[in-house]
Structure 1
Amino acid sequence: MWQTFTNWVMEEVARYGYLAVFIGMVLESACIPIPSEIIMPFGGLLAARGQLNFWWVGLLGALANVVGSWLAYLAGRFGGRAFIEKYGKYLLISRHHLQLADRWFEEKGEITVFVTRLLPGIRTFISLPAGIARMDFLRFTLYSLLGVLPWSYFLAYLGYLLGENWDKLTAYLHTANYFLLGTALLVIALLYLWQKKQRRR
């Protein structure tokens, strides 16, 4: 199934070029599972073949990531915030937790957004909590861009460098995604259990 999906993404990028790179990276950054680990290296490969321009591939990938992050940010700010305020108590999330998140993104939002944008798997999901915490939109945009630029060019360069062997890269990155997501879910589960124990006390 993964190979079929990979082949489909490759066909679309090969057929539509820059447009497919842009749309795919928008969807990826909006929390829709279209992995950049396929789009950008394959775009780099097409650049190595002379079909696309390497610099345009990296730049469009980064700009598309910012656009997609806007969608997730706005969903968190105007939809997710209201949902958490209304139903958060059923998830053991109180208004106090929202205030803590607001303070965190106010004080450490820049470094949080920048660093997570460089991490596979986790990078696509930071926009939603940033929106829920109402991080300043301009600061969110700036540090998102600073984070996604090196990531987009890094993946495109790997595809450009590896040439026809670029697909070997995706297997390692795909495994890394699952590892990081699994670690994040484990941490969330442990925090949930710890908080539940504290509430009982």
Structure 2
Amino acid sequence: MERLGGPGAGLAVFLENLFPPLPSEVILPMAGFAARLGQFSAPEAIMWTTLGSVLGAWVIYFLGARLGRERMRKLVTRIPLVDTEDIDRSAAWFARHGTKGVFFGRMLPFFRSFISVPAGTERMNFAVFTVLTALGSLIWNSIFVGAGYSLGANWHRIEPYASTFQYVVLAAIGIVVIWFIVARIRRRKLAADSGLDDV
């Protein structure tokens, strides 16, 4: 950001989309702090970081489109306990709620990058995808850039709150995964028992 200014902030967020371990919850407040120091203006910080978000989402969208639904099915069905009907249900869910998923997904850790994959494999309208990604990213980026700008040198105080939010999301994902595994094992056990009874 010191060397490239606003485009540097956009580049950092672009890379964060491709490599989720790079936390936008740290990059964005730093961009706000840099704006506070006069490296660029706050509106420029928001504009460039939102552009970086959109461009990063485009890359993942096109990777998903390149992969395609059938290849995705073959890859996902190799995961233990996952059946083809799980993929079909996910595709049906995305067909009904994909627009909300893309918009709100841009404001959730981990989902920010992931949500672009089904958008690509399901060939969501590219213009709609772009607008929803831009709007969701604009809201998320504005909050964190604005917080970094307001806190100035204390921008790092945002990190504990952002980390707590990440842990909450991770915990929710963990609960869903555990519930899925337990339910799937019980279902297969019941099916196996039923098959033995028939014999």
TM exceeding 0.5: yes
Report whether the alignment pairs 1:137 with 2:123: no
Q: Output the TM-score relative to the length of structure 2.
A: 0.83
Task: Count the aligned residue pairs.
Answer: 189
List per-residue Cα deviations over 1:176-200 (Å, max 9, x = no partner).
2133123213312321331232233
* Counterpart pick for 1:146 among 135, 141, 155: 135
Q: What residue is the counterpart of 1:4 in the other structure? A: none
Q: What residue is the counterpart of 1:9 in the other structure? A: none
Distance 1:60 1:136, change over 3 A: same
1:83, distance to aligned residue in structure 2 (A): 4.2
List per-residue Cα deviations over 1:70-115 (Å, max 9, x = no partner).
1222223323745432243332333333332222222211111111
Q: What residue is the counterpart of 2:150 in the other structure? A: 161
Comparing 120-129 with 150-159, greater Cα deviation is found at 120-129
| Structural RMSD (CA) | 2.1
Conservation of the 8 A alpha-carbon contact between 1:84 and 1:93: no
* Counterpart pick for 1:67 among 55, 58, 61: 55
- 1:3-152 aligned within 5 A: 13-79=1-67, 81-91=69-79, 92-152=81-141
Q: Output the TM-score relative to the length of structure 1.
A: 0.83
The structure whose Rg is larger is: 2
Distance across 1 between alignment mates of 2:85 and 2:30: 45
Comparing 50-59 with 171-180, greater Cα deviation is found at 171-180
Amino acid at match of 1:142: V
Distance 1:51 1:90, change over 3 A: closer
Amino acid at match of 2:142: Y
Q: Structure 2, unaligned stretches of length 5 or more?
A: 192-199
